[in-house]
Structure 1
Amino acid sequence: MLGDQVYGVIGLSDVAPNKFHDSDVNLLMTLGATVAASIQNTRLFEQTQTALSQTAYQAQRLGILNQLSADLNRVQDMDELYATAASKTRELFRDSDATFAMLTDNPRLVRLYALQDPTAAHFVNVGLVLDNTLIQQSLQQNRLLNISDLSAVNFVDSAAMVSQGLRSTLVTPLFSGNNEPLGTLNIVSPHPAHFDALDEQLASQIGSLVSAALQNRRLFEQTQNALAETQRLATQARQATEQVTALNRRLTREGWQDYARIASTTLVAEAVREQHSAAAQTDAGNGGAAPENGASRRIQVPIVVRGETIGTIEMDYDDAAGEWTPDQQAIVNNVGEKLGLVLDASGAG
């Protein structure tokens, strides 16, 4: 939909309940506005082809209109949008000027944009009261106004234009795709009865293009703001996770280092500090002298969860059996590693 003209319907559906969110709605609205603008551009192109049989001036105007459509798709901000539209409108209408009256958060006030130099549109009035103006009438009736003699009507803005030497105007309403009023495009001339039916049609086409561009720009800015907010929240969540992880690692490491110094052998304490999973053969009795024949020996394997040693597996065996083979120690090491994985998976880490 462009302005009040409906071209069709585009929609999404899903079997899951509550599948779509506000961001999906905004993206769908952007897509719909883009499709509508593409349809409008296609029709404008077809009109351009038809106009080749008309006067050279009319063909030139439609060419400028197509260029305006392309230029509006490349603007980077609202000011550039107003400047581009106002500049092209000046080219399209002889002996005329163009301004935009845009609604504000205050429903009784509008902001006027006028092209004061070839490259930028500026505020010329930030407090124009909307009451009893041609702008208000055009928006309320949602129709283009062609005032051939400004001195013959009694409106606040018409009196102001007459005082500036202006005699006729076209006031074109601008509406978003969901029929929300945005403002008006105002084309003025110092000549009375300056605009005809072809001018009205051209002004309506400009209004449709500008309305679509305004909505696309606003939706783009809303999407960018939403993405920035999402990235900010994701960064905060990542930083919080890193802080919790660092605190958890610190508490786990310091706690088990204290335990190792108090309750285990010096070899276990070293294993905890080095954070490696390797079976260490030690004498029973917390690192005392080598045992006599028949005494027991001990295998100790650190339990590691997410890089942190949280405990040990200790096994006593008869010294008469001799030293453990590498295969036997590998089995014990494997038990320690798998125990660490199980604890990690269960959330014990």
Structure 2
Amino acid sequence: MVTLQSRDDALETVANVSRISQLLGLAAIAVASLLAVIMTQYLTRPIARLTQIAERVSSGDLQARAEAESPDEIGALANSFNRMTNQISEILLNLEKRVAERTTDLEIARRQSDKRANQLLAIGEISKFVNSEQKVDTLLSLVTRLVSERFGFYHTGIFLLDETKQYAILQAANSEGGQAMLRRGHKLRVGESGIVGYVAKSGEPRIALDVGLDAVYFNNPDLPITRSEMALPLKLRDEVIGILDVQSEKPGAFTEDDANTLNILADQIAIAIDNARLFSQTQTTLSEVQALYRQNLQEGWKTFSREEGMVGFNQSLSGGKKLTEPVGSAEIQQALNRGETMVIQPNGKSEEPVIVVPIKLRGQVIGVMRIKAPDQAKQWTTNEINLSEAVSERLSLALENARLIQESQRQVIKEQAISEITSKIGSSINLENVLQTAVEELGRSIPGSEVIIKLKEDNVNGGSA
């Protein structure tokens, strides 16, 4: 049985099946795409969150942490990232601490450097002042004042050892308490009393702080507010000659660096004290030598005038003559006493125009030169006064040279006479000839004199009574 069906009807069924198949395929593709999107989001969400955390960390938020939601590779990656972040945080924290510590150390070092530079500058200034002072007492007072002012110590004292090296005696101080101690004659036994005695004995710097055993040193009623003290030895050629004692009202005010720096100042003070002492000794010796020289000079000129039989020379229009007697006048005596040139100008009454110039030899007045004008109305000019003084200066040297030459000549003559007498006496061979020769030669050397030589009886009799 054959059924006839149109082509359109036959293909309609196929078309329906084909459309259904296409719809199902499209639905399957849509479902698969949706599932793919869901799975992709599920898989990439942890990575996205980790990326966001990484971006936060890279921008400086080191507190951000990744959440490990699963034990798979993503979770392991999150844990590793968190550990890395923790390590970075610790490194940065340690680095900040080290930077802060280094900054603090640098600031401390800078302050210490500035402090040391200021101390050295102060030491230089103090040294400049003390090296120019030549009196020991003034020097010590100057040092205590300058050290207190430049370094800010409320008390500075200088002790010097006595000749026996048993006591350190306070010589200078700037504070009121120190002044009271000076008036009292304050002294400390070497090796026994406080850090001053310790330093005087050991020769090493010592710092005492207001803590522990050091507190026993702070019992001075004259300096009740002392909380820190430092004593430095004043050494000269490795020998302690004194102590520089500085005190502060602040606890722990001194350090070893301060001691090392101020030791430089202590050495400078010791040298300045020694120089001042040497200068004082030199001045004393010089004064003694000058006094002895003046005495010898005066005696020499007295002897010279006596032997020459003259005390001066007078020159006038009528001629010149030797002076055998001193000429006295008020202006001459005044010039001799003062050692200054006296210029008397005419006053129209009784005063005569006179210049009296002292004749000086190395500061010692050995005479005067009096110049009287021939005209009573004469006015002395500056050139005339200067000329008189210049002549006086040259005259003193010429007179001294002449005196010395004559003394030398007399000494030569005396030595020759002694030599001749000694030679003649030595040529005699018996006692009588020796005595006779000695008497004759002495009488010949001193004309008109009577010479007697008498020997002791025990010498003549060979020592017998």
Query: TM-score, with normalisation over the residues of structure 1?
Result: 0.51
Q: Does 1:346 align with 2:376?
A: no
Deviates more, 1:163-172 or 1:97-106: 97-106
Paired with 1:174 and 1:274, the residues of 2 have a C-alpha distance of: 65
Report the counterpart of residue 103 of structure 1 in structure 2.
Answer: 161
Question: Once the 2 structures are TM-superposed, how far is the Cα of residue 249 of structure 1 from its aligned partner?
Answer: 3.1
Gaps of at least 5 residues in structure 2 are 1-108, 311-320, 324-405, 415-444, 447-465
Q: Does 1:213 align with 2:280?
A: no
Report the counterpart of residue 300 of structure 2 in structure 1.
Answer: 241
- Equivalent residue letter for 1:248: E
Paired with 2:245 and 2:222, the residues of 1 have a C-alpha distance of: 14
Question: Once the 2 structures are TM-superposed, how far is the Cα of residue 197 of structure 1 from its aligned partner?
Answer: 1.9
Q: Is the contact between residue 113 and residue 124 of structure 1 (CA under 8 Å) also seen in structure 2?
A: no
Structure 1 vs Structure 2 CA RMSD: 3.7
SS of corresponding position for 2:132: coil
Report the counterpart of residue 389 of structure 2 in structure 1.
Answer: none
2:261 to 178, 202, 208: 202
- Equivalent residue letter for 1:174: L
Paired with 1:274 and 1:114, the residues of 2 have a C-alpha distance of: 65
Report the counterpart of residue 145 of structure 1 in structure 2.
Answer: 206
Distance 1:274 1:168, change over 3 A: closer
Report the counterpart of residue 135 of structure 1 in structure 2.
Answer: 196
SS of corresponding position for 1:175: strand
Deviates more, 1:209-218 or 1:221-230: 221-230
Q: Is the contact between residue 144 and residue 172 of structure 1 (CA under 8 Å) also seen in structure 2?
A: yes
Distance 1:274 1:176, change over 3 A: closer
Paired with 1:67 and 1:101, the residues of 2 have a C-alpha distance of: 22
Question: Once the 2 structures are TM-superposed, how far is the Cα of residue 181 of structure 1 from its aligned partner?
Answer: 2.7
1:170 to 212, 225, 230: 230
Distance 1:180 1:121, change over 3 A: farther
SS of corresponding position for 1:346: helix
Report the counterpart of residue 286 of structure 2 in structure 1.
Answer: 227
Deviates more, 1:127-136 or 1:210-219: 127-136
CA displacement, residues 282-303 of structure 1 (integer Å, 9 cap, x when unaligned)? xxxxxxxxxxxxxxxxxxxxxx
- Equivalent residue letter for 1:66: G
Paired with 2:322 and 2:285, the residues of 1 have a C-alpha distance of: 46
Report the counterpart of residue 125 of structure 2 in structure 1.
Answer: 67
RCO higher in 1 or 2 (8 Å CA, sep ≥ 6)?
Answer: 1
Higher-Rg member (1/2): 2
Gaps of at least 5 residues in structure 1 are 1-50, 252-272, 276-339
| Residues 233-312 of structure 1: pairs in structure 2 closer than 5 A | 233-250=292-309
Question: Once the 2 structures are TM-superposed, how far is the Cα of residue 61 of structure 1 from its aligned partner?
Answer: 2.2
Paired with 1:146 and 1:103, the residues of 2 have a C-alpha distance of: 20
Q: Is the contact between residue 111 and residue 125 of structure 1 (CA under 8 Å) also seen in structure 2?
A: no
Report the counterpart of residue 98 of structure 2 in structure 1.
Answer: none
- Equivalent residue letter for 1:114: A
CA displacement, residues 124-159 of structure 1 (integer Å, 9 cap, x when unaligned)? 44242425212221021111011123772487x642
Deviates more, 1:106-115 or 1:230-239: 106-115
SS of corresponding position for 2:251: coil
SS of corresponding position for 1:159: coil
CA displacement, residues 32-57 of structure 1 (integer Å, 9 cap, x when unaligned)? xxxxxxxxxxxxxxxxxxx9996434
Query: TM-score, with normalisation over the residues of structure 2?
Result: 0.39
Q: Is the contact between residue 100 and residue 112 of structure 1 (CA under 8 Å) also seen in structure 2?
A: yes
SS of corresponding position for 2:264: helix
Paired with 1:274 and 1:82, the residues of 2 have a C-alpha distance of: 58
- Equivalent residue letter for 1:171: A
Distance 1:76 1:152, change over 3 A: same
Paired with 2:288 and 2:175, the residues of 1 have a C-alpha distance of: 36
CA displacement, residues 230-250 of structure 1 (integer Å, 9 cap, x when unaligned)? 111111111222222233234
CA displacement, residues 285-325 of structure 1 (integer Å, 9 cap, x when unaligned)? xxxxxxxxxxxxxxxxxxxxxxxxxxxxxxxxxxxxxxxxx
Distance 1:159 1:52, change over 3 A: closer
Q: Is the contact between residue 138 and residue 171 of structure 1 (CA under 8 Å) also seen in structure 2?
A: yes
Paired with 1:125 and 1:160, the residues of 2 have a C-alpha distance of: 14
Paired with 2:111 and 2:215, the residues of 1 have a C-alpha distance of: 41
Q: Is the contact between residue 154 and residue 249 of structure 2 (CA under 8 Å) also seen in structure 1?
A: yes
SS of corresponding position for 1:160: coil
Q: What number of residue pairs does the alignment pair up?
A: 208
CA displacement, residues 99-143 of structure 1 (integer Å, 9 cap, x when unaligned)? 1112234644412411159xx999344242425212221021111
